[in-house]
Amino acid sequence: NASNRFYGPTPLRTGIEQSRNLMTVRIAQEIGMQTVAGYAERFGVYDRMGPFLANSLGAQETTLFKMVAAYAMFANGGERVEPTLVDRVQDRYGRTVYRHDQRVCEDCAAANLPAGQGVTISSNRERVMNAITAYQLTSMMEGVVQRGTAAGINLPVPVAGKTGTTNDSKDVWFIGYTSNIAAGCYIGYDQPRTMQGASGGGFCGPVFEDFMEVAIEKFGGTKFAVPPGGYFIKIDRFSGQQLPDDASGDNVVAEYFREGEVPIFGLGAMVDGGFAMGENLPLFAYGEGEGNGDSTITTSEGETVVVPKKADFGTVSSGGLY
């Protein structure tokens, strides 16, 4: 981690909010870099991504244009967004001869519509990611702005995004979006050199905020749309434990799960790394308590954490957010 600290078992949401590199690397090694590369290419971040573990932290170059287009997909419910400089071309009679948006308006030719009924627009955009998965990631990245590495951003509408800072602070990034507009910031030199005290949230955050304040005046913004097919569960964002539906407080987050899926709660049920991680990087078996092969570790913050004994292939599932 950039802080040179080890924080012990931590929910994935916290890892994203605080930009914990170790969690990213472990997940990438667990699922395989071929899988990671496949997603990155599908999202359009890279034309061809090398399946090297360092690339899980963004070692391979890309462009701000590609990054913003990829993040716009999250805001668009998992459907691909193709940026363009030209939205529409009309002839001198007002007839449209070119339109970038190829969605079909089924009712636009009707003389009138029933009272209270809007037009129906059918999307034919390519679906890159499941809508529920896209919303889950958006929800986590809202936390980046609410209390994470981009907490300095203060806008009047919901915002999600992710910061990025390269080694020695030679490049800093922030890509963010509201419900209807995505934008990004990159700061760095043509010939890379360290920018003292630079970070994605500290340098790019204010740039993004200044731009979005003006953009929101024109385009507005609402809460991110919740796709059908799931349900919310209140969870303690520090421990990963399920909370009552009426729970409230700074530690409470509402996570969205697919219908029919029953998540396993608590850090004791979390898969940290996996069978691909080698020695001394334990998996955690569900339901195992103290005195059953558990060990304790001390984090760099001086906190003692109980680590359940290593799980085997029959005791743990990698499903869920925690």
Task: Give domain status of residue 71, yes or no.
Answer: yes
Strands 171-177 and 104-105: unpaired
What does DSSP say about strands 96-99 and 104-105: parallel, antiparallel, or unpaired? unpaired
Kindly report the pTM of this predicted structure. 0.76
Say whether 160 sits in a helix, a strand or coil: strand
User: For residue 24, what are the domain limits?
Assistant: 12-81+126-219
Q: How many helices (H) and strands (E) does the chain have?
A: 6, 11
Looking at the structure of the chain, the number of domains it has is 2
- Using DSSP's 3-state secondary structure scheme, residue 67 falls into helix
| 119 Cβ neighbours under 8 A, 6+ residues apart | 105, 106, 107, 108, 113
237-263 residues labelled b (16+ CB within 10 A) or e (exposed): bebbbbbeeeeeeeeebebbbbeeeeb
Q: Judge whether 5 lies within some domain.
A: no
Q: What is the SS3 string spanning 3-55? A: CCCCCCCCCHHHHHHCCCHHHHHHHHHHHCHHHHHHHHHHHCCCCCCCCCHHH
The residue from 184, 219, 254 where one domain ends is 219
Q: Are residues 166 and 70 in the same domain?
A: yes
Residues 26 and 283: their CA atoms lie apart, in Å, by: 11
Question: Are 18 and 148 a contacting pair, CB within 8 Å?
Answer: yes
Q: What is the chain's pLDDT, residue by residue, as a tens digit (322 residues)?
A: 667 777 777 888 999 999 988 889 988 998 889 999 999 999 999 999 999 999 999 899 999 999 999 999 999 999 998 888 898 999 999 999 998 887 777 777 777 878 877 777 777 788 899 999 999 999 999 999 999 999 999 999 999 999 999 888 999 999 999 999 999 999 999 999 999 989 999 999 999 999 999 999 999 999 999 999 999 999 998 888 889 999 999 889 999 999 988 777 766 554 444 433 433 443 333 333 344 555 564 544 455 655 445 444 344 333 333 2
Q: Residue 182 has what pLDDT? A: 96
pLDDT at 124: 75
Q: Are residues 33 and 58 in the same domain?
A: yes
Answer yes or no: is 77 within a domain: yes
